[in-house]
Every structure is written in C-alpha cells, then in structure tokens.
Amino acid sequence: DSGVTQTPKHLITATGQRVTLRCSPRSGDLSVYWYQQSLDQGLQFLIQYYNGEERAKGNILERFSAQQFPDLHSELNLSSLELGDSALYFCASSVEGSPYEQYFGPGTRLTVT
C-alpha cells in the first residue's frame, strides 16, 4: 500500500460524457502527478500540481483538466470522452526534494463505450 488513494477503482461510461477521478496523496506530500496508461501509448505523464498550483504539464488533452484543492487532494476531469480515452489513470505523490521517488496509487480503470 503506497498511501495514495484513488477513487473510483473502475468507471464505465459512454462517449461524449464527462467524468471526475479523485486522488488523495500520501500524508505530507505536496506534489500530485497524474499519468495515463493505455495499451498503445504506455505510461504518459499528464500534469503535476504542487501545493495547489500547476507545476508541469505533459501530454494532457484540452478536454482534460485537473486541480488540487487546499486539503491537497486532486481531481482529474475528463470531458467529451472518446473511445481512445479508455485507459488506466494513475495518481502519484512525492516528498519535497525527491521528485524522482513517486508513490503511485492503485489507479482508476476508465472504459469508454
């Protein structure tokens, strides 16, 4: 158990819909990262937040957005969903000063039908 929690575990929705994935980092970790893992693209970094502020952006689509709240939990919003958005979405957190050592949550498996 990494200490990072993600909900829901599974999500099945239809094309065109919008969903919200939730992540709670390990106690004390200020950084939250979102990654997408699909069969054809592998593990891809989406976005990072640090203490409520966006710090780095990766290959995140404009249809996707995220935020980190004052209690440090984060939400990833995916809208206008397409079949290709079906993937495992991981959240990770890290200790200040050790960004290379990230602790990953169990992931949310999103299936778009």
Partner 1 sequence: LAKTTQPISMDSYEGQEVNITCSHNNIATNDYITWYQQFPSQGPRFIIQGYKTKVTNEVASLFIPADRKSSTLSLPRVSLSDTAVYYCLVGDWGNAGNMLTFGGGTRLMVKP
Binding residues for partner 1 (CB under 8 A): 2, 4, 31, 33, 35, 42-45, 48, 55-56, 58, 88, 90, 92, 94, 99-107, 109
Taking the least distance from each CB to partner 1, the nearer of 17 and 59 is: 59
**13 versus 106: smaller Cβ distance to partner 1:** 106
Cβ-based nearer residue to partner 1, 19 or 48 = 48
Q: Least Å distance between CB 16 and partner 1?
A: 26
Nearest 5 degrees, angle CA 53-CA 35-CA 6?
A: 80
Phi first, then psi, for residue 78 (nearest 5°) are -120, 125
Give least dist CB 34 to partner 1, A. Answer: 10
Tell which residue, 62, 22, 58, 25, has the closest CA to residue 43.
58
User: CB of 1: closest distance to partner 1 in angstroms?
Assistant: 11
Residues 86/73, Cβ–Cβ less than 8 Å: no
d(CA 45, CA 37): 9
